[in-house]
Structure 1
Amino acid sequence: MRFSKPLTVTLAGAAFLALPLSGAALAAPAPQPSHAAPAAPAPAEKQDARDRKDAGPRQVSLSVAVDPSRVRTGQTYGVTILVKGQTSGTATVTSPEGKSYRVSLSGGRAVKELAVPSRAKAGTRKVTVKVGGRTATASFTVVAPQPREDDDRRHRAVK
C-alpha cells in the first residue's frame, strides 16, 4: 500500500503528459455551429453595384408640391419638400419672382410658406427647390383676385 499512492500519481501524470502528444490533441478543432446562415456570394454585377453605392454618395430623391394649386393674387401658398435618402440639411426654395429662401430639413421634410404678390398677373408659375445636387420644380396657377363688390346700399338714399 505504500506504493499505491505514488504509483497512482505517477500514472496520472504520465497520462496527462501523453494526452497532448496524442493525435487527438493535434487534430484540427471541430467546426463550431454558427447562429447565422452563411450568405451566398453575390453575383459580380450586384457586388460591383454595391461597391459603387458604398463608395459614392447615397441616392437622394427630391419631390416638391405646392398647396393649393390655384392661388389668388395676394394670398399665400405652401411649398412642401420631401427628400428621401437625406434626413437633415438645407433646401433652397426659389419663388417665381426670383427670391431665394433657405429652409432646414427635418426628417427629410420641410415646408415654406410664400405669398403671391398682389399685383401679379394671372398664369402658371413655377417654384424651384434645390437640395444638394438635386433640383425639382412644382407648378401652380395664379388667378385674378375676386372682383370687389361695392356695397352701394350704404350710399343710396332711402326713398
Structure 2
Amino acid sequence: MLEQEFKGKTAWQALDPAFLDRAPDGYGSALSFFSDAAFRFYLSAYMLADVDGKLDKHDPVFHLTHGLTDKGRGERVNPRRYGERTWFDEQGHKFAVFEREQAHAIVSYLELKRETDEFQRDEIDQAIANYWSERAEASAG
C-alpha cells in the first residue's frame, strides 16, 4: 500500500501536503513505515508541510525525537529479539544516513518547533542535546 502510493513520486518538492498527511490510504502513517532511505528522501517535504501548518495526522517531531531522549538511551527495543539494542541505538542507525547539512536542517526545524510545541519541548531539547546537535556538527561522511 505505502509503496504503491509513493511509486513514481521522485520529486518530494512537488508533493501535495494533503497527500503527505493522509498517505498511505488515509491512515497518515507513512513516516512510521518508510525504509530509512525513503524516510530521508521524503522527510523534507513533511517538515515543510508541518512548518506551513498543513499536517494534521503526521508528526515529524515525534519521528525525529523518539528514542533520542534520555529515556531512549536505556530503553531496550525488544530484548527477546534484539538483546541490548536501545531505542537510541536504533534511531542512531536510522539517522546515520543523513549528511551534516541535512542534520543541521533538522536541528533548525526542531528549534522552530520547540517554540510552538510546548507538549514536546522536553523531547525536542533532549533529542537536540543527545543526538542532533552533534550530528549537525559532525564532518560530512
Q: TM-score, normalised by structure 2?
A: 0.16
Q: Which has the higher strand share?
A: 1
